[in-house]
Amino acid sequence: MTLGAGACSSEDEAAAGSAPGKLEVVASTDVWGDLAARVGGDKVEVTSIITSPDADPHEFEAGTRNQAAVAGAQVVIENGGGYDDFMDRMLKTAKNSSATVLNAVTISGRTGNEHVWYDFPSVVKVVDRIEQAYAKAAPADASTFQQNAAALKQKLDGLVRQEATLKAKYAGQPVGITEPVPVYLLDAVGLQNKTPAEFSEAIEEGSDVPAKVLDATLQLYSKHEVKLLAYNEQTSGPETQKLLDAAKQNNIPVVPVTETLPNGKDYIGWMTANLDAVGAALGR
């Protein structure tokens, strides 16, 4: 997966060893790892713990190599909000009291939905805090971090403008989801999520969907009451498959979403593609 300049997976990091003269940074997922690498450029070495779309952050158990990376890190970035609790366990074990720990959910100020990387204003806040942490750890490179963060925030502003363009055209349109992963993005575009909360919460928690709730959700597609289905490709099961089948059978566009970077994408390219897909689906 593409992690951006100066970044690598935890396996690569363990094999290569620490890069001399660089800040050692650990991120819980490659989403935050990519952003951390772009702020740091060639001044940092980033280890992303989760880089595989098949890994479930809620159930992830880190190995000794990852634990060693956390123990030696100067900056640690976790998502928080119950999404990647394994990071808190690793930090406790590492006893690395000198590391600056950034919790994205706490920084965002958001509550109720931990998928804050789909909320661009929250991402800007995290980028600012990453820049500050780097500057504190390596004051001589502060101007480089500031320039890199400014360039990244310009691109994030572009995503916000793209959302505003879509909102001007499609605000109020009804949509469906399998779980709350992309809700911040959909909200920013002004779309109305019609999926019963009982459905998406059950899918996210890995529990069974009550029959009445499943039936009501499927009717959104058979009755053409939604314009698209935002489908989390990384969570599959019989209930989500039924939604996917219902959308396809009723010619309702499906917009795949993920929780980690798709192959060959950085964060900006990934989110640009997500917004393009939403616009294409609504414009059909």
Residue after which a domain boundary falls, among 160, 179, 202: 160
Q: Walk along the chain (284 residues) and give the pLDDT tens digit of each residue.
A: 223 333 444 444 333 345 668 999 999 999 999 999 999 999 999 999 998 767 777 677 778 899 999 999 999 999 999 999 999 999 999 999 999 999 999 999 999 999 999 999 999 999 999 999 999 999 999 999 999 999 999 999 999 999 999 999 999 999 999 999 999 999 999 999 999 999 999 998 889 999 999 999 999 999 999 999 999 998 889 999 999 999 999 999 999 999 999 988 999 999 999 999 999 999 98
Count of domains for the chain: 2
Whether residue 191 sits in one domain with residue 150: no
Residue after which a domain boundary falls, among 113, 141, 160: 160
Tell me, yes or no, whether 187 lies in a domain: yes
For the domain that residue 138 is a member of, what is the CATH number? 3.40.50.1980
Whether residue 191 sits in one domain with residue 104: no
Whether residue 196 sits in one domain with residue 67: no
Q: List b or e across 205-224, with b for residues whose CB sees 16 or more CB atoms inside 10 angstroms.
A: eeeebeeebbeebbebbeee
pTM for the predicted model, two decimal places = 0.91
Tell me, yes or no, whether 1 lies in a domain: no
Domain of 15? 7-160
Residue after which a domain boundary falls, among 132, 160, 188: 160
Tell me, yes or no, whether 29 lies in a domain: yes
Residues 6+ apart with CB under 8 A from 10: 47, 48, 49, 51, 65, 66, 69
Enclosing H/E stretch for 193: strand 192-193
